Amino acid sequence: MGAYCFLNGRIVLCKRAGMPLNDLGVLRGYGVFDFLRTYNKKPFLMKEHLDRLEQSARRLHLAIPVPREDIEKAVYTLIRKNAFPETSLRFVLTGGISATGFFPEEKPTFFILAEKSEAMPEYMYQRGISVVTHEYLRDIPEAKTNNYMIAVKMRNLKKNKRFVEMLYMYQGNILEATTSNIFFVKGNTLITPKKNILVGTTRNFVIRLARKDFRIEERDVHIDEIKQVSEAFLTATNKEILPVVRINKYVIGDGKVGLHTKELMSRFRAHTASLK
pLDDT of 174 > 60? The answer is yes
- Ranges of each domain in the chain: 4-116, 122-273
Give the Cα separation of 59 and 148 in Å (integer): 17
- Asked whether 24 and 104 are in contact (CB, 8 A), the reply is yes
Domain 4-116 has CATH 3.40.50.410: no
Domains 4-116 and 122-273 equal at CATH topology level: no
**DSSP codes, 32-79:** EEEEEEEETTEESSHHHHHHHHHHHHHHTT---SS-HHHHHHHHHHHH
Residue 97 contacts residue 65 (beta carbons within 8 Å): no
CATH architecture of 122-273: Alpha-Beta Barrel (3.20)
pLDDT at 158 > cutoff 60: no
Q: What digits encode the pLDDT tens for the residues 9-37? A: 999 999 999 989 999 999 999 999 999 99
Tell me the mean pLDDT in the region 63-75: 97
- Four-point Cα dihedral 150, 155, 156, 158, nearest 10: 110
Q: How confident is the model at residue 186 (pLDDT cuts 50, 70, 90)?
A: very high
pLDDT value of position 202:
98
| pLDDT band with cut points at 50, 70 and 90 for residue 254 | very high
Which amino acid is located at 52 in the chain?
R
